[in-house]
Amino acid sequence: MIRQSWTIPEEEKNRILNLHETATKKHYLITEDVTEPIEFNITNSFPSGKYELTNTSEIDDAINKINEFLKTAKGSFNTIVINSSESKVPNRGVGMVPGQLSAKRGEVIEKYIKSKLGDSVNVRVNDLKAQGPEWDKSKGANNPEYTKYQYVTLTLSAEKQQTNPNSNDKSICDFNFRENRGQGLEENNYVTFDRTLKDYGELTIDTDSIPDRMIVVNGQNSIVSDTGYVATKPHQYREFKYVPAYVYSLTLINQIKKNTSVSGSKLITIDVNSFEELVSKLMVNPSSKPNPKDVRAETSLKGLETLFKNGVRTFVLYTIGGEGIGKVPFDSRKGDSRVIVYSPVGQTGYTITGKCPKQ
C-alpha cells in the first residue's frame, strides 16, 4: 500500500482553510476548552492489501502523544476515532471482497488501542469501506485515483455527547425531532444529532434544500446504514443542478480537511479534468454558462476554481430529491444503537421521524 500524498503546497492549503473559516466564522461556536481534532496517519502499520498489524511504530507514537494530551487535559478530548478506508482495487491476495479489508483493519487497530489505553478514552471505528472510482485494470493498482483512498488514521477529538438522560429509552415509533438552523462544529465532526434509540422500523430525515447526512451505528460504532448527503427538496438556484456553495464546502471538508463526516460508501464524487468540465456538471444545462450577476454563485465558483488550480480533481456532490432518499432502517434487535446526523453545510434545518410496523 502506498501512503497517500497531497499535491497542494502547505502554504496554499492553509490559505484555503483560512478563507473557508473566515467565510463561515459566524456559524461556528468556539469554546475555550475545545481544541482542534488531532489526526495521526498510521497507514504504514499494515502491509499492502493485508490487515495483520506488523509495524507498530506509527500507532505506538500516536498512542504516546494521545496519552500526553489526556494527561495534560489539553482540550475536551474524549474519543479516538479510527478512520479505516480502502480503494476498490480487488484484494486478490487475501481472498476478500472490497470493503472487508477496511473493516478488518479497523477492528485490529481498535483492539490494539484498547490493550494499551484501557478505558481511559472512548474508541470508535469509522469504517469507510471501499471508496473512490471503480477498478480499471488498465490504470494499475498504484494509480493515485485508487491509492488516495487507501489509508488508516486516528483522530483524537471531542465528540458531542447526548445530554438527555432519558434518551436511551426513546423509541423510534412515532419519533419526531426538529433541528432549526443548525450547523455542526468542526471539532465535533459537524454532528448536530447523536441519540441512542430502540425498537425497529424506519427513520426518515427531511433536510429541505441543504444537504445533511444521517447514519445508524451499532454497539461497536460501525456504520450499518447511511443516507449519504441528501437534500430532500429543490433549491432556489434555477440554472444550477447542484449549489456551488454546497459542493465547495463538502469538497473542502473531504479533500482538504479530511474530516470523516464527509465520507462513506454513499458519498457521491465526480472526477474532472478541467474547471470548465466541473462547472458543466453543476449546471442544469451543461452547455450553458453561469450568470455573472449571481454574486453568491460566483464566490463559490471561485473557491472551486482555487481548489482545482491547486490539484483537487475529485469533487463531492449530493443527492437531490427522489423516492426513498433520507430513509434508513433501524432495528435494535439486530444491534442498531445510535442515530447520528452530520450538518457541515450552512444553517441547515431538518426533521427526523420514525415509524414502526403495525403490531
Across the range 296-320, mean pLDDT stands at 92
pLDDT digits (tens, 9 = 90+) for 204-235: 999 999 999 999 998 888 899 999 999 999 88
226 found inside a domain: yes
Q: Exposed, middle or buried, 183 (CB in 10 Å: 0-12/13-18/19+)? A: buried
Per-residue pLDDT, 94: 54
Q: Are residues 243 and 132 in the same domain?
A: no
Q: How far apart are alpha carbons 87 and 72 in whole angstroms?
A: 37
Which one of 128, 157, 186 terminates a domain? 157
Which one of 123, 157, 191 terminates a domain? 157
Residues 6+ apart with CB under 8 A from 183: 27, 28, 190, 192, 343, 344, 345, 346, 347, 348
Structurally, the chain folds into a number of domains equal to: 2
What b/e sequence results for 270-303 when a residue is b if at least 16 CB atoms lie within 10 Å of its CB, and e otherwise? bebeeeeebbeebbeeeeeebeeeeeebeebbeb
Per-residue pLDDT, 16: 61
The half-sphere exposure of 60 on its side-chain side, counting CA atoms within 13 A, is: 5
Say how many C-beta atoms besides its own lie within 10 A of residue 154's C-beta: 23
Per-residue pLDDT, 25: 39
Per-residue pLDDT, 12: 62
More confident residue, 205 or 73: 205
Can you say whether residue 190 is alpha, beta or left, with left for phi > 0 and alpha for psi between -120 and 50 degrees? left
Across the range 307-328, mean pLDDT stands at 93
Q: Are residues 141 and 279 in the same domain?
A: no
> Among 101-115, 154-168, 184-198, 279-293, whose mean pLDDT is lowest?
154-168
242 found inside a domain: yes
Q: Are residues 287 and 338 in the same domain?
A: yes
Q: How far is CA 295 from the centre of its chain?
A: 29
Q: How many residues does the chain have?
A: 359
15 found inside a domain: no
Per-residue pLDDT, 324: 83
Per-residue pLDDT, 147: 80
Model confidence at 5: pLDDT above 70: no
> Beta partners for 244?
none
17 found inside a domain: no
Model confidence at 192: pLDDT above 60: yes
Domain region containing 82? 35-157
> Among 43-47, 140-144, 347-351, whose mean pLDDT is lowest?
140-144
Per-residue pLDDT, 52: 86
In the predicted model, what is the mean pLDDT of the chain? 81
Q: Are residues 191 and 275 in the same domain?
A: yes
Amino acid at 239: E
pLDDT digits (tens, 9 = 90+) for 128-167: 878 778 878 888 878 888 788 888 888 776 554 433 444 4
pLDDT category at 13 given cuts 50, 70, 90 is low
44 found inside a domain: yes
Q: Are residues 88 and 187 in the same domain?
A: no
10 found inside a domain: no
pLDDT category at 312 given cuts 50, 70, 90 is very high
> Among 170-174, 207-211, 349-353, whose mean pLDDT is lowest?
170-174
Q: Are residues 177 and 134 in the same domain?
A: no
Separation in Å, CA 208 to CA 167, 237, 328, 347: 25, 14, 17, 11
CB 250 within 8 A of CB 342: no
Can you say whether residue 353 is alpha, beta or left, with left for phi > 0 and alpha for psi between -120 and 50 degrees? beta
Which one of 129, 157, 185 terminates a domain? 157
Q: How far is CA 25 from the centre of its chain?
A: 21
Q: Are residues 71 and 210 in the same domain?
A: no
Q: How far apart are alpha carbons 201 and 356 in whole angstroms?
A: 4
Q: Are residues 339 and 192 in the same domain?
A: yes
Q: Are residues 130 and 175 in the same domain?
A: no
Specify the 3-state DSSP secondary structure of 40: strand
Q: How far is CA 74 from the centre of its chain?
A: 25
Q: Are residues 300 and 242 in the same domain?
A: yes
Per-residue pLDDT, 34: 40
pLDDT digits (tens, 9 = 90+) for 261-296: 999 999 999 999 999 999 999 999 988 888 777 767
Per-residue pLDDT, 210: 93
22 found inside a domain: no
Q: How far apart are alpha carbons 35 and 57 in whole angstroms?
A: 26
Per-residue pLDDT, 319: 95
8 found inside a domain: no
Q: How far apart are alpha carbons 254 and 178 in whole angstroms?
A: 27
CATH of the domain at 148: 3.30.1330.60
Residues 6+ apart with CB under 8 A from 203: 172, 175, 214, 216, 327, 328, 329, 330, 339, 352, 353, 354, 355
Q: How far apart are alpha carbons 89 and 44 in whole angstroms?
A: 18
Q: Are residues 242 and 288 in the same domain?
A: yes
Model confidence at 6: pLDDT above 60: no
Q: How far apart are alpha carbons 349 and 212 in whole angstroms?
A: 9
Q: Are residues 226 and 325 in the same domain?
A: yes
